[in-house]
Structure 1
Amino acid sequence: MTVQATGAAWPAGSPRPGLAARLGALALRDTNVVVASVVLNNLLRAVSSMILTRLLAPEVFGISGVIASLQFTVALASDLGFQAFVVRQEDGGRKRFLDTVWTVALLRSVLLAAALAALALPVSRALARPDLMPLIAASSLVFLIEGLASTSLLSALRDRRILRLSVVEIAALVVQIAVSAGLAWLRGDYWAILGGMLAGAALKSLLSYAAFPDSARGLALDRATLRGLWAFARYVTGSSVIYLLVTQCDKLVLAKVMPLDQFGFYVLAGNLASAPLGFAANYASRVLYPSYAALWREGATDLRARFYARRRLPSLLYAAATGGIIGSAPLVVGVLYDPRYAEAALYLQILCVSSLLALPSCAANETLTATGRISATFEASMAKLAWLGLAGVAGYLIWGQFGLVLAVGLMEAAALGFKWLRMRQAGLLDMTQELAFLAAGAGGILLGLGADAVLGPLLR
């Protein structure tokens, strides 16, 4: 018998594995793999930021934010939820099924690349920056490269190959950082960031075939699969369009009203605030969702207790760590960047409030989706849109750009409150556990403030 991920007891009379084997099995648990990969990912990104902010001017990060926002906008406007669809389907490992998903994804990528290239001229004119046109057009190549990747990157979650998937992603990130740093040293402009993105995407697409068995794909259009994808994706697409509005309108507005160097501070703060989001999203989608979906398919009883049991410790640690970032934001910015970027600290504190709420929100979303309540994602996105429409406009009118940033930082609270309501209706909410997660976050904020008070003066 092999070591069990659930920690089940060993049968009587069976030889217990040695310490090295037990430690190896513990390290390979899905949750621990996700934690290790996210920590390594964030460390690499921190090193990248430390290098690039010393080689590039703040304006370059403002340009990066504009182009990243455009890419995100175009991609999310046509999101079909391929990953969740492949993981949840009973026949998600069938060749013709995967070939059909790959074909649709490839066609979508071609359309996305064409759409972004077509937007290059009007967007550069709207921002009164004609020099952005070739950069925006060239960035469309990222979609083409990603569209060629195998569906093995999707089915890896279903097949529990999380370690291999994480290695592929880390390898692509290392290449992206190395290429960006080299080009930044040689050129000192935005093409350094774009070159790294293209190199990383190319390696990831290549490894999607080389690192996984049965990864070869061919063109196919299976009618049953297409019908199933549409039935699944109609809620995902609607939710993604709303999510697009609530996550990108701040960047589009601020890119217009802020000087590019100030917008660069906001983009850098958003990048730092996304560090814990990497764990929240990956842990929820790669560990919780497959586990929850399996429990639901098997007809398990007492879903509420079993769902919370699977996320309790990671949720508490996540809340404390993210709270620590909020409290110590000036210290974090002071360590990573030179004094030119000190203004990013306030933005980081505000944006990390949403990061603090991201894991309970993502976990709630996966709980509802795995149990068949797919429309909840769309409805929660509508709650975010309503919040941004009211609080965002009011904040901007009263406090200007700071008011809009504040509304964005508190936006996740609206979605989380709605998801809690839907979970309560489904009998899946344990409010005591949720409040414990928030209390851990408050404790982390206090610890972060203390760390900044003690260590901050040494950097200033």
Structure 2
Amino acid sequence: MKSILSSLPRSPAQVAERVRSLKSSPAVQATFWVILGSGGYQVIRLFGNLILTRLLFPEIFGIMAIVTAVLVGLGQLSDVGLREGVVNSDRINDPQFMRTAWTLQICRTAVIAILAAIIAFPLANFYDEAVLAPVLMVIACGTFITGFKSIAVLAYDKRLDLKAQMLVDLGVQVAGLVVVIVCAWWWKSIWALVVGHVFASVLDVILSYVLFKGHHSKFAWDKKAVKTLTSFGKWILISSTISYITVQGDRLILGSFLTMGELGIYSVAATWAAIVALLSVNFSTRILHPYFKQVIDDTNSDHSKIKRVRNMLNAAYMVVCVVVALIGDKIIQGFYDDRYLDGGWMLQILALGQVGRALTGTLMPFMLACGDSFSQMKFSAVSAVILIASILLGGWMAGAPGVIVALAFASIASHPVMVAYASKHGYHCTIADFSLITFAAIICFVGWWLTDAPILGVLAELI
């Protein structure tokens, strides 16, 4: 205690000096921009969702949920860990290395577009939605366009220089949303979402060359660079492929249980529930991975700083998840019309499940910072097994409601696996993490009982 007190600033001059040092810290500056960017992204995303649900039918959101799930899956199948490879490399100032990374980036998005075109019509036949095929192919073209984005963006990420990237992301999102809203008001069609996606993709690529320096945007193929990037990412590729089931597989599976309209309602609830998870993933990717890497390199694997950062973030994530879980039904009732009321109980249980995903999201970058992408792959495999088993059991017991409850359960049930892998690297967080999960569950169930929340009726039917 004395050592802690002695480290605190004692005079106004010392306080001012401490504030100046914090302001000049790359990690602090990057944290500010990630919070601003992620927070702004969520606000814009929810604002757009509220407007578009009044302009378009629920069925349209169901179809887009399928399209998004497919494209994310194809992206996971082609994920060679390019960003992680650049962040962990010391060759970001080597033009040949960066040009090779840019070439790999284009190859990856080309693979996504080709695979999307191949499966488009079979997928449309499976879900009996003819419009799904052309929509998927056009949006995949937009994804291919993003492959030409300047590779300099990844170098900025490694240096924790995120101001430009966050501003670009927000600007592109706002511009794309404006295009979508105008087209939706005019057409009342799913093609409004498609046009907005392609427009945003083109704008994102253009701004990456206007606002970032050191493009290295020439085709190159350095075998050593390819080996460096793909050797680090080989387990990430397998991990991403498997984790796709746990992140986006719900839309594809629920599509066989629900109508497109009901799936659209679920997508609205999932959008709200994913607020914390998306913030956790964005923060982990942009900040925690490079920051944890620096801490481990500088302190000879002293994990005290990492524990403080994780505990603080996990507590904040838990609070937000619990609040959304408690008032989820009121959120849907207040912001949406009667067509979306069933999304209330869905949001409540999904938000509680996000506690597990958020905790895992802050632990995953520690594993990557230790260079252990193999454990990440094993975790994804175990998580997929837990999810599939939970979904099958939930679907057998209660159909679609059972599947949705199973999704929330699986997010929490898989977290102990990541905790076990982290302990092998000397990082122990069992008590801290599961205290938060238990506390969150108790508050939610007591709050639901006191307010007679609709989720209790659904859970009672399952039992």
How many angstroms does 1:419 deviate by? 0.9
Name 2:425's counterpart in structure 1.
426
How many angstroms does 1:302 deviate by? 5.4
How many angstroms does 1:448 deviate by? 7.1
Name 1:350's counterpart in structure 2.
349
CA contact (8 A) 1:209 1:216 kept: no
Name 2:225's counterpart in structure 1.
225
User: Which amino acid is the alignment partner of residue 427 of structure 1?
Assistant: G
Distance change in 2, residues 1:8/1:99 (3 Å): farther
User: Which amino acid is the alignment partner of residue 416 of structure 1?
Assistant: H
Matches within 5 A, 1:297-316: 297-298=297-298, 300-301=299-300, 303-316=302-315
User: Which amino acid is the alignment partner of residue 423 of structure 2?
Assistant: R
Name 1:3's counterpart in structure 2.
none
Equivalent pairs, count:
446
Distance change in 2, residues 1:420/1:184 (3 Å): same
Name 1:414's counterpart in structure 2.
413
CA contact (8 A) 1:246 1:385 kept: yes
Matches within 5 A, 1:275-294: 275-294=275-294
What does the per-residue CA deviation read over 1:321-340, in whole Å, with 9 as the maximum and x for residues that have no partner?
11111111011112322222
User: Mean Cα displacement is larger for which, 265-274 or 166-175?
Assistant: 265-274
What does the per-residue CA deviation read over 1:413-457, in whole Å, with 9 as the maximum and x for residues that have no partner?
233110111122322013343245436645874797599789xxx
Distance change in 2, residues 1:50/1:451 (3 Å): farther
Q: Is 1:214 the equivalent of 2:214?
A: yes
TM-score, normalised to structure 2, is 0.89
Name 2:161's counterpart in structure 1.
161
**Alpha-carbon separation, structure 2, partners of 1:440 and 1:255:** 33
**Alpha-carbon separation, structure 1, partners of 2:441 and 2:393:** 27
CA contact (8 A) 2:44 2:174 kept: yes
What does the per-residue CA deviation read over 1:122-145, in whole Å, with 9 as the maximum and x for residues that have no partner?
111121222322212211112221
Matches within 5 A, 1:54-453: 54-298=54-298, 300-301=299-300, 303-438=302-437, 441-442=440-441, 445=444
**Alpha-carbon separation, structure 1, partners of 2:447 and 2:331:** 10
How many angstroms does 1:271 deviate by? 1.5
User: Which amino acid is the alignment partner of residue 214 of structure 2?
Assistant: D
**Alpha-carbon separation, structure 1, partners of 2:209 and 2:117:** 28
**Alpha-carbon separation, structure 2, partners of 1:9 and 1:149:** 45
**Alpha-carbon separation, structure 1, partners of 2:122 and 2:271:** 26
RMSD: 2.8
Distance change in 2, residues 1:291/1:447 (3 Å): farther
**Alpha-carbon separation, structure 1, partners of 2:366 and 2:448:** 33
Name 1:458's counterpart in structure 2.
none
User: Which amino acid is the alignment partner of residue 227 of structure 1?
Assistant: K
**Alpha-carbon separation, structure 2, partners of 1:236 and 1:352:** 27
Partner-residue secondary structure (3-state), 2:113: helix
What does the per-residue CA deviation read over 1:302-337, in whole Å, with 9 as the maximum and x for residues that have no partner?
522121122332221111011111111011112322
**Alpha-carbon separation, structure 1, partners of 2:333 and 2:362:** 32
**Alpha-carbon separation, structure 2, partners of 1:81 and 1:142:** 21
**Alpha-carbon separation, structure 1, partners of 2:390 and 2:35:** 34
How many angstroms does 1:42 deviate by? 1.1
Partner-residue secondary structure (3-state), 2:418: helix
User: Mean Cα displacement is larger for which, 177-186 or 409-418?
Assistant: 409-418
* Gaps in structure 1 of 5+ consecutive residues: 1-6, 455-460
Partner-residue secondary structure (3-state), 2:372: coil
CA contact (8 A) 2:152 2:215 kept: yes
What does the per-residue CA deviation read over 1:277-325, in whole Å, with 9 as the maximum and x for residues that have no partner?
2210011111111111112233x14522121122332221111011111
**Alpha-carbon separation, structure 1, partners of 2:102 and 2:156:** 14
CA contact (8 A) 1:49 1:336 kept: no
**Alpha-carbon separation, structure 2, partners of 1:223 and 1:54:** 52
Name 1:457's counterpart in structure 2.
none
**Alpha-carbon separation, structure 2, partners of 1:452 and 1:206:** 50
**Alpha-carbon separation, structure 1, partners of 2:436 and 2:155:** 31
**Alpha-carbon separation, structure 2, partners of 1:172 and 1:447:** 42
**Alpha-carbon separation, structure 2, partners of 1:414 and 1:93:** 42
CA contact (8 A) 2:79 2:108 kept: no
What does the per-residue CA deviation read over 1:243-270, in whole Å, with 9 as the maximum and x for residues that have no partner?
1233333322221231111111111112
How many angstroms does 1:223 deviate by? 0.9
CA contact (8 A) 2:100 2:222 kept: yes
User: Which amino acid is the alignment partner of residue 235 of structure 2?
Assistant: Y
**Alpha-carbon separation, structure 2, partners of 1:389 and 1:348:** 21
CA contact (8 A) 2:150 2:205 kept: yes
Distance change in 2, residues 1:446/1:25 (3 Å): farther
Distance change in 2, residues 1:245/1:430 (3 Å): closer
**Alpha-carbon separation, structure 1, partners of 2:9 and 2:219:** 46
What does the per-residue CA deviation read over 1:124-176, in whole Å, with 9 as the maximum and x for residues that have no partner?
11212223222122111122211110112222211111122111111111011
CA contact (8 A) 2:419 2:429 kept: no
CA contact (8 A) 2:69 2:249 kept: no
Partner-residue secondary structure (3-state), 1:330: helix
TM-score, normalised to structure 1, is 0.89
CA contact (8 A) 2:82 2:230 kept: no
